[in-house]
Amino acid sequence: NAGVMQNPRHLVRRRGQEARLRCSPMKGHSHVYWYRQLPEEGLKFMVYLQKENIIDESGMPKERFSAEFPKEGPSILRIQQVVRGDSAAYFCASSPPVLRRVTNTEAFFGQGTRLTVV
């Protein structure tokens, strides 16, 4: 049972380009979470998705950032027209299906994608 897979591990983009970060959850997990870790800062929640649905995007910047989790394939975090301030490590986590509204599931993290904007 492979863990959470993120690719690429490292991504370099010039200012103004688009960045696409991919996340494949653990087998059997249908919930995906994206977090961002800016240099010398803690991890901050960005967005929570289930298959074909965005459940909570309260941590997403209002512009240039979008996320999807299609029925087939990995979750994608897309950053349009990247700027230097987008340079960070982006982590994806997955968890099993929620059977009740209140749950105690454990989150499993991928190795992250380190985005550098030059």
Return residues touching other proteins (CB under 8 A): 6, 31, 33, 35, 41-45, 48, 55-56, 91, 93, 95, 98, 102-112, 114
| C-beta of 81 vs 103, nearer to other proteins | 103
**The 3-state secondary structure of the chain, one letter per residue:** CCCCEEECCEEEECCCCCEEEEEECCCCCCEEEEEEECCCCCEEEEEEEECCEEEECCCCCCCCEEEECCCCCCEEEEECCCCHHHCEEEEEEEECCCCCCCCCCCCEECCCEEEEEC
| C-beta of 35 vs 117, nearer to other proteins | 35
| Min separation Cβ 21 and other proteins, Å | 13
| Min separation Cβ 51 and other proteins, Å | 14
| C-beta of 18 vs 56, nearer to other proteins | 56
| C-beta of 16 vs 30, nearer to other proteins | 30
| Min separation Cβ 70 and other proteins, Å | 20
Tokens of residue 59, six digits: 């941590």
Residue with tokens 């209002």: 62
| Min separation Cβ 9 and other proteins, Å | 10
21 — alpha (psi -120 to 50), left (phi > 0) or beta? beta
